Amino acid sequence: MRATRAIVRLDHLKSNLDQIRRHIGSGVRICLAVKADAYGHGIVEIGRAASDHGVEYLAVATSDEGTELRNNGVEVPILLYSLASPREIPDIVRHRISPVIADEEQAALYETAAHSQGTRAAVHVKIDTGMGRIGCRPDETVRLARRITSSPSLLLAGISTHLASSDMADPTYTNQQLDLFRDAVERVRRDGIDPGIVHAANSGGVLSHPEGHFDMVRPGIIAYGYRPSPESPASLQLTPVMEVRSQVVFLKRVGKGEAISYGMTWRAPRETWIGTIPIGYGDGYNRLLSNRAEVLIGGRRYPVVGRVCMDQIMVDLGASTSVKRYDEAILFGFSEGAPDAEELAALCETIPYEITCNVSKRVRRNYVS
C-alpha cells in the first residue's frame, strides 16, 4: 500500500460531538454537516459513526451524497442544503432526503414527485436573512409555509436560515439576521402553522450565538476539530480528526547552491541532506505551501523546500541528520508538535475547511476507533 495515507480518528470525532452536545445543552438537536465527503474525512464512515453516536440529522450538499449514505445503510434524517435540479427530485424523495425549499416552484416539484410515489416529502423552508445565496425573503415565509402545509404530499419539517458572519468577532450582522429569522418564524406560528424544527446556527453560531441555537444546530468544521475562524472563541477543546502521514522515501546530500524542484525557487544555503516525501498537490497538499510549510519527522520539524510537485515534496534535513529512509513524516494533523490544518490554512491564506476537503481520493483513509 502507498505510504501516503490519512488517519481518521473516529474517537476524536465523537469527543468533539460530545463537547458540542454539552455546550448546546439538552433538548437541542445536532445536524452534522457531512457534505464534501465529510470535509474530506469520508462521508459513509463519518455518517455511520455520527449517527451511531446519537447525532439526530446529517446534512449534505448534493443528492448523490444523500443517496450514498442511504445506500450504505445510514437511516437518520438527511437534510439537503442545496437546491436540486428537477431531474434529481424523484430520487431525493425516494431516498427520504429532506430538501430545503426556497420558493413555490420547488415546492410544486417535490409535491409532484411525492404524489407520484404515493408518499409525503418532508421539506424545510429556507429563509435568506442576509447570506444572499438561496432562500425566500423573510416576508415571503408565511406564504411559502402555507403552500407547503396545504399539500397532502408535503410535510413542513422545519424552517432554517444560514448565518453569514457568525465566526466574526462583531456580532452586529448576525444579530440582525437572527432578529429577521425569529420574526419570520413567529409570523408563521401566528398564522397557525407549526414551523417544525427551527434551525440557524452553523459552527460559528454554535460557538458564539447561543440565542441562535433554537431547536437544532448544524456544526461542520468544529466537529472535525477546528474553529471556523481565528475570531471564534476557543471555548471547546477540539481535537483534529484527520492526520495526513507519509514516509521519507529518498535521501540525498546536496552541495551549497544546488537547486531543488521546479523553477529553482530554493537553493541550498550550505551542504545539506534533502528528503523526498511522496505527497503533492495531486493529493491535495497545496502548491502554496512551497518553501513555507514544515513537516514533522521523528518529533522534529523540517521545512519544505522547493516547489510542491504533483506527487512529491522535498524537505531540508540539515547538514547532518538522524532521519532514515522510510521514517514516518506527518504533514498535518493531531500529533504533538505537528502542523495542523489551521496552520497550513494560514500559510495558504485560506481556511482549514479547504485543507481537509482538498485531501484527494487517492490518499487512502484509515479509520481508527
pLDDT in tens, the chain (369 residues): 899 999 999 999 999 999 999 999 999 999 999 999 999 999 999 999 999 999 999 999 999 999 999 999 999 999 999 999 999 999 999 999 999 999 999 999 999 999 999 999 999 999 999 999 999 999 999 999 999 999 999 999 999 999 999 999 999 999 999 999 999 999 999 999 999 999 999 999 999 999 999 999 999 999 999 999 999 999 999 999 999 999 999 999 999 999 999 999 999 999 999 999 999 999 999 999 999 999 999 999 999 999 999 999 999 999 999 999 999 999 999 999 999 999 999 999 999 999 999 999 999 999 998
Cβ 284 vs Cβ 313: under 8 Å: no
CA atoms within 13 A on the CB side of 187: 16
Cβ 196 vs Cβ 214: under 8 Å: no
For the entire predicted model, the pTM comes to: 0.95
C-alpha cell at 302: 523540517
Q: Which residues of 51-60 are buried (b: 16+ CB within 10 A; e: fewer)?
A: beeebebbbb
Q: Residue 48, Cα to own-chain centre: how many angstroms?
A: 16
Query: Catalytic amino acids?
Result: 35, 262
d(CA 88, CA 62): 9
d(CA 4, CA 364): 7
Q: Give strand ranges (E) for the chain.
A: 5-9, 29-33, 57-60, 78-80, 97-101, 121-127, 154-161, 197-201, 216-217, 242-247, 250-254, 259-260, 266-267, 272-277, 294-297, 300-305, 313-318, 328-332, 364-368
Residue 1 confidence (pLDDT): 86
Q: Parallel, antiparallel, or unpaired: how do β-strands 328-332 and 242-247 relate? A: antiparallel
Q: Which residues contact 51 (CB under 8 A, 6 or more apart)?
A: 58, 74, 75, 76
Partnered with residue 242 across adjacent β-strands are 8
Residue 168 confidence (pLDDT): 96
137-145 contacts at long range (C-beta below 8 A, 24 or more positions apart): 138/180, 138/181, 138/183, 138/184, 139/184, 140/103, 141/184, 141/185, 141/187, 141/188, 142/184, 142/187, 142/188, 142/191, 142/193, 143/104, 144/101, 144/103, 144/104, 144/107, 145/188, 145/191, 145/193, 145/195
- Pick from 180, 184, 202: which is nearest to 193 by CA? 184
